[in-house]
Chain A
Amino acid sequence: MLAQQIVNGLTIGMIYALIALGYTMVYGILKIVNFAHGDIFMMGSFFGLILIRNVGLPFVVAFALAAVLTALLGILIERLAYRRLRFSDRIVPLISAMGVSIFLANLAQKLWGSEVHTFPKVMEIKTYTIAGMTFSTVQLLIFGLSIIAMLGLHFFVNKTKIGTAMRATSISITNATLMGINTNMIIMITFAIGSALAAAAGILVSIYYDAVYPTMGYTAGLKAFTAAVLGGIGSIPGAVLGGLILGVAENLGIAYIAAKYQDIIAFCILILVLIIRPRGILGKKEINKV
């Protein structure tokens, strides 16, 4: 029972982690919370849904194409809603982000209606029992794809030239520019990767819960934001850790307290972290830039 709850918690935790990566990467570079990120995740789900259900593409192709389209959406949002505000007060891009969030949720409603869409069947649903724990094929898909995405990101950020430039840019845009790095390009790449990961999370969770709807980005976005803060916003391993902890905590809460408290748990964690340890588990002390 406990082990099963942990497996279920880790499954949804992977989803939170994938979304949290986008929050944390954008925050790491621009020091802004992209509150439209939950809606980017929702758009990714819809892109996946439309490409499979309406266009009839095979799952793998639709998955990749939806990630690319969502990445482009992320780039567009940065260009239109954030770039000009880069040197203004922090509250300004935050307001802009909320505007984008409201716009996307309404756009989705206009385009695809406010009802809950079911997700087409993309694979044979089977379950396997190992050591008393049950895994569904969907869960295995979520684990597999999430882990591949996270390892790929880890390799990219730490071992490639562009990844190193990205880390330098998140330390200091000015000093990165002095290396000849086109920091606008790096910021675009950051939005693209974060958005593509959100699309992956969106499609996977839509298969898992068999539901796609325009407001699905709100709670998922807030929970992933909680995960990012819990792990330490700005930290990539922190986002993964925060996501997994949150997923497990929620499932234990459902099992041992009551299902109706599921959403409350995340927000209690958020408030506790902000009070006790605002920099999160792996986050660095906030250094005031002179």
Chain B
Amino acid sequence: MLKIEGLTVHYGVIPAIKDLNIEVPQGKVVCLIGTNGSGKTTTLKGVSGIVKAKAGRILFEGKDLTKVDPHQIVHMGISQVPEGRGVFPDLTVLENLQLGAFIRKDKKAIKSDLEEIFSLFPRLEERKNQLSGTLSGGEQQMLAMGRALMARPKLLLLDEPSMGLAPIIVQEIFKIVRRINEEGTTVMLVEQNAKMALSVAHYGYVLETGEIVAQGTVNELKNDDMIRKIYLGIH
């Protein structure tokens, strides 16, 4: 579904990612793990068109995203939950969710999708008229995910959904990620929390200073000595 070929992104003259090759097959969860500053966010920004590729192609259903306007990429079926959630704090929870459906015109289906989001995240319904800046971190993560789903994406990009959240909330969020995938949405997940990421993904890539250093099925990665030591803390 998504095929990143030789993607290189620079900030100024400094390369943040170099010659990345990543494939996300339809219906799967693919994770990209790596420490802080390894280039995970840059990769997702590249897919969403927020940063420009210096070299390489990003093929989505055969079309090269590096030649598409960033807002059009959302129309093509890719939604991103950015690092730090990116909710609009001065807007209500409901307005945030409605903006998720900005690209859609099917009012009836939007309404029923909203009900679905509220059943997935009941706390959002209780707080729908509250300004989203007043939500807790976990609730903001749920809002950002619900908002992205309101676009009915084919591919959902998640940038560190576990960041700054209590372990119990992280469990809850990852349960929902699995459920979203089981309902048919392809997911590309970026995480520092390798253990959680490998618990939901089918396939994974390991990124270090902008380069892929390992890749494989989740089982292969979980049994790799280097990954066990550095990313999972098992000796």
Chain A positions near chain B (C-beta within 8 angstroms)? 161, 164-165, 167-168, 171-172, 174-183
- How many angstroms from the CA of A112 to the CA of B74 in the assembled complex? 48
The answer to whether the Cβ of B141 comes within 8 Å of any Cβ in the partner chain is no
Residue on B nearest A162 in the bound complex, by CB: B102
**Do A177 and B50 touch (CB < 8 A)?**
yes
Instruction: Give complex CA distance A164, B101 in Å.
Output: 12
Interface contact B74-A180, CB-CB below 8 Å: yes
4 shortest interchain CB distances as A-B pairs:
A180-B74, A180-B103, A175-B86, A171-B88
B89 to chain A, nearest CB (A): 7
Q: Compute how far the CA of A179 lies from the CA of B74 in the bound complex, rounded to whole angstroms.
A: 7
Query: In the complex, which range does the number of interface residues on chain B fall in?
Result: 20 to 34
Could you name 7 residue pairs across A and B whose Cβ atoms are closer than 8 Å? A165-B102, A177-B49, A177-B70, A177-B71, A179-B99, A181-B71, A183-B71
Residues on B facing A (Cβ under 8 Å):
48-50, 69-72, 74-75, 79-80, 82, 86, 88-91, 95, 98-100, 102-103, 147, 151
User: If A177-B71, A178-B48, A178-B74 touch, does A172 touch B86 (CB 8 Å cutoff)?
Assistant: yes
Q: A257 to B191, alpha carbons, bound, how many Å?
A: 66
Across-interface contacts of B50 in A (CB, < 8 A): 174, 177-178
B91 touches A167 (CB 8 A): yes
**Which of A174, A178, A179, A180 has its CB near the most chain B CB atoms (within 10 A)?**
A178
| Bound form: Cα–Cα A182–B69 in Å | 9
Assess the B71–A180 pair: CB atoms within 8 A. yes
Q: Are A168 and B79 in contact (CB under 8 A)?
A: no
Q: If the complex has contacts A161-B98, A165-B99, A168-B99, are A178 and B82 also in contact, measured as CB distance less than 8 A?
A: yes
Whether B70 contacts A171 by the Cβ 8 Å rule is no
**Residues of A contacting B71 with CB < 8 Å?**
177, 180-183
What chain A residues lie within 8 Å of B49 (beta carbons)? 177
Residues of chain A contacted by B89 (CB below 8 angstroms) = 171
Judge whether A172 and B75 touch: CB under 8 Å: no
Cβ B80 vs Cβ A168 within 8 A: no
Residues of A near B103 (CB, < 8 A) are 179-180
Task: Say whether B88 contacts A168, CB under 8 Å.
Answer: yes
Flag if A175 contacts B70 (CB, 8 Å): no
Roughly how many angstroms separate A177 CA and B95 CA in the complex, as a whole number? 16
| CA gap between A92 and B103 in the complex, in Å | 34
Closest Cβ of chain B: how far from A92's Cβ, in Å?
A: 18
Known: A164-B99, A178-B80. A171 touches B74 (CB 8 A): no
Known A167-B95, A175-B82; 9 more pairs at CB < 8 Å: A164-B99, A165-B99, A167-B90, A174-B50, A178-B80, A180-B72, A181-B71, A181-B102, A182-B71
List of B residues within 8 angstroms of A167 by Cβ? 88, 90-91, 95
Nearest CB in chain A to that of B98: its residue: A164
Q: Is the CB of A180 within 8 A of B91?
A: no
Is B86 a contact of A178 with CB atoms below 8 Å?
yes
